[in-house]
Structure 1
Amino acid sequence: MESPVVLTIAGAVARLTLNRADKHNAFDDEIIALLISKLEEVKTQNEVRVLVLQSTGKSFSAGADLNWMKRMATLSYEQNMDDARQLALLMHTLNTLPIPTIVKVQGASFGGAIGLISCCDIAIASDKAKFCLSEVKLGLSPATIGPYVVQAVGARRCRQLFLTAELFNAEQAADWGLVHKLVTSEQLEQEVDSTINQILQSGPSASKATKTLIADIERGLDQPAEHTAELIARLRVSEEGQAGLTAFFEKQRAPWIKQ
């Protein structure tokens, strides 16, 4: 029996795949645990420089599995707290992964799936993709994914999307900042590969440091001038920074570029 979550690593690229096409890649507590485990595994692979989150079949993810939701509704508040903490941990782990992340969205993305999209650095979607934050229609709230979706599209837009649970299309998702690039279904894999190649042109340490910088700025810096000056000075004198500057001035390929 195939695993519902598959991690493959080829050189500098890791691909984390939701592999439950017959259930529209809906996730439950088992799949959440697997995703967390695989993301932690990626952190240990020093050669990996970019992660692609993707799924099989026509849907990206239908969000929460209905049988999981039915089961959780029969359990206690304490048990539901433990379960919800795991979903929150998944979102945090993906959002704070040290390396750049790309999400490939080929179809319908509902509920918690939009949380996964919001936690990735770059979202590339088919122009046929559809989106919905449907939790309020079930008497629930997009709570654990909320901070990441609000960060992605803004609080004002989330008032509309969270409270109406309306369906929205790929063009709207791009206009509102949930998705960065829209392409046809036939161009989707090519666009993902192109974005991977762009990332791999950058210094590995510089990519990680820059991702951390963005998070630091979002949280707020007590002394932004000092913090940012320290970062650029440290990178300039680092082995990677010296190699990159030398390659640039001598019109050579940087040592981290393999092709």
Structure 2
Amino acid sequence: MIYQTIRSDSDERGIVRLTLTRPEKHNALSALMISELTDVAARLGADASVRAVILEAEGKSFCAGGDLAWMRQQFTADRPTRIAEATRLAMMFKALNEMPKPLVARVHGNAFGGGVGLISVCDAVVAEHGAKFGLTETRLGLIPATISPYVIARLGEARVRPLFMSARIFGAEEAKTAGLVSMVVNVATLDAAVEAEVASYLAAAPGAVGRAKRLARSLGSPITDAVIAATIEQLADAWETDEAREGVAAFFERREPSWRS
């Protein structure tokens, strides 16, 4: 399968490198990338030859979050269209979270908003020292809705509340302390650290690995269809607010939003 916004390459061991390939947009999650990531998660999950997946990105950033041009389109859409688009985004995170393979993130540069969501559905996260993180949605008058179940499952409500509300940018060491990141290394040793992480899964029975992942998910914070549906509604609601219109307009007009005047 040939994709336009991602690339999937496997080696003879069954290790797949799943690469985000929109470097000119800092790998922001466009409608097409959302669809392609959902599709590839299903394909890799069903492929018995795949032993582990590395999620990485080209360019300066891991993922800048949701594509703002895609978000902007929601302001002129009707409610059913907003719900449909929010659902597609939510189903992408669900597909990656439930993929029955080890998913290891190789993180460099910035990971904001939906980028933190992508990290949160990974089983292990190796980040370089200079990486920056942030749940930046409220700066745009939005909320981190569809990623919220996975971020809270990862970090816990107490840690997430101030990060959700303040949209504060934080570094790799703080991300590790919070539990978002598993390991922080120098950029020169990033690839070696990722390789060591994925190689560890090759000693385990692949079927048992998938079942163990499902077991852990079943005992953690329940991310049910009802929970996901509620986040979809809240994202659609947020797209309908005056604050969201002002925040996204301010970004495109290269000015401060009204609440920062």
Q: Specify the alignment match of 1:29 in structure 2.
A: 31
Structure 1 letter corresponding to 2:192: Q
- Structure 2 unaligned runs (5+)? 223-261
Q: Specify the alignment match of 2:7 in structure 1.
A: 6
Output aligned runs, 1:176-255, within 5 Å. Answer: 176-218=178-220
Question: Equivalent residue of 2:16, what SS?
Answer: strand
Output aligned runs, 1:119-158, within 5 Å. Answer: 119-158=121-160
Larger radius of gyration: 1
Question: C-alpha displacement at 1:219, in angstroms?
Answer: 5.6
2:52 is the alignment partner of 1:44: no
Q: Specify the alignment match of 1:20 in structure 2.
A: 22
Structure 1 letter corresponding to 2:9: T
Question: C-alpha displacement at 1:57, in angstroms?
Answer: 1.0
Q: Deviations over 1:84-123 (max 9, x none)?
A: 0011001110111111110110110010110010001001
Deviates more, 1:92-101 or 1:207-216: 207-216
Question: Equivalent residue of 2:150, what SS?
Answer: helix
Query: Which structure would you say has the larger RCO, counting Cα contacts within 8 Å and 6 or more residues apart?
Result: 2
Query: For 1:65, which of 41, 59, 67 is the aligned residue?
Result: 67
Query: For 2:101, which of 71, 96, 99 is the aligned residue?
Result: 99
> What CA distance in whole angstroms lies between the structure 1 residues aligned with 2:203 and 2:43?
24
Question: Equivalent residue of 1:40, what SS?
Answer: helix
Question: Equivalent residue of 1:63, what SS?
Answer: coil
* TM, length-normalised to structure 2: 0.81
2:81 is the alignment partner of 1:79: yes
> What CA distance in whole angstroms lies between the structure 2 residues aligned with 1:108 and 1:99?
25
Count of residues in Structure 1 that have an aligned counterpart in Structure 2: 220
Question: C-alpha displacement at 1:206, in angstroms?
Answer: 2.0
Against the structure 1 CA distance between its residues 161 and 10, is the aligned structure 2 distance closer, same or farther, given a 3 Å change threshold?
Answer: same
> What CA distance in whole angstroms lies between the structure 1 residues aligned with 2:66 and 2:221?
29
> What CA distance in whole angstroms lies between the structure 1 residues aligned with 2:218 and 2:63?
30
Q: Deviations over 1:186-234 (max 9, x none)?
A: 11111111111111111212212211221222268xxxxxxxxxxxxxx
**Is the Cα contact below 8 Å between 2:41 and 2:95 reproduced in 1?**
yes
Deviates more, 1:197-206 or 1:97-106: 197-206
Sequence identity percentage:
36
Question: Equivalent residue of 1:179, what SS?
Answer: coil
Structure 1 letter corresponding to 2:47: Q
Structure 2 letter corresponding to 1:163: M
Against the structure 1 CA distance between its residues 144 and 132, is the aligned structure 2 distance closer, same or farther, given a 3 Å change threshold?
Answer: same
- Structure 1 unaligned runs (5+)? 221-259
Q: Specify the alignment match of 2:255 in structure 1.
A: none
> What CA distance in whole angstroms lies between the structure 1 residues aligned with 2:204 and 2:46?
20
Question: Equivalent residue of 2:160, what SS?
Answer: helix
Structure 1 letter corresponding to 2:34: I
Structure 2 letter corresponding to 1:114: V
Structure 1 runs of 4+ aligned residues shifted over 3 Å read: none
